[in-house]
Amino acid sequence: MLRLALTKGRIEKSALQYLAKAGYDVSELDEEKKGRKLLFKVGNDIEVVLAKAADVITYVEHGVCDGGIVGEDTIMEANASIYELLDLEFGKCRFALAGIKGKNFYDGYGHKIVASKYPHVTKEYFDSKGIDVEVVKIEGSVELAPILKLSDAIVDIVETGSTLKANGLEVYEDVADISARFIANISRIKMKKKEFDTLIRALSGVVESERALNKEKSNV
Partner 1 sequence: MSGNNRNIPSGTRDIMFEEADLFRSLEVRLTELYTKRGFSEIMTPAIEYYDVFETGSTMAQEEMYKFTSPEGRLLVLRADNTTPIARAVASRLSEHIPTKLFYHQKVYRLSYGNKGRKSEISQSGVEILGYGGIQSDLICLITAIETLSKISEDYKLELGHVGFFNALISDCGLCEEEAAKIRRLVERKDVNKILGLDVIKKIPFLFGGKEVFKDAEKLATGNEKAMHALSYLKKLYEILCDAGYEDKIMIDLGIVHSLDYYTGCVFRGYMDGAGEPVLAGGRYDTLISKFASDIPATGFGVNISEIAETLIRKNSPEKKRFHTLIAFDEKSFNSALKFLEDTEGAVLSHIGGEKENIAYAKKEGFSRLIMFEKGEKKTIDIK
Q: How far is the CB of 157 from partner 1 (least distance, A)?
A: 17
* 84 touches partner 1 by CB under 8 A: yes
φ, ψ at 63 (rounded to 5°): 80, 10
* SS3 assignment, position 128: helix
Pairwise CA distance, residues 118 & 66, whole Å: 26
* 37 touches partner 1 by CB under 8 A: no
Of 28-36, 62-70, 104-112, 154-162, the window that binds partner 1 (rule: CB under 8 A) is 62-70
Alpha-carbon distances, residue 128 vs 94, 98, 103 (angstroms)? 18, 18, 23
Site for partner 1 in 176-205 (CB under 8 A): 181, 185-188, 190-191, 193
Which of 10, 37, 62, 137 is close enough to bind partner 1 by CB under 8 A? 62
Q: How far is the CB of 36 from partner 1 (least distance, A)?
A: 25
Which letter does DSSP use for residue 111 in this model?
P
* CB-nearer residue toward partner 1: 84 or 159: 84
Q: What is the largest CA-CA distance in the chain?
A: 61
Q: How far is the CB of 103 from partner 1 (least distance, A)?
A: 30
Q: How far is the CB of 189 from partner 1 (least distance, A)?
A: 9
Residues near partner 1 (CB under 8 A), total: 21
* Sheet with 2-7: strands ordered across: 39-42, 46-51, 2-7, 67-71, 180-184, 83-87
* 7 touches partner 1 by CB under 8 A: no
Which amino acid, residue 137?
Answer: K
* CB-nearer residue toward partner 1: 27 or 187: 187
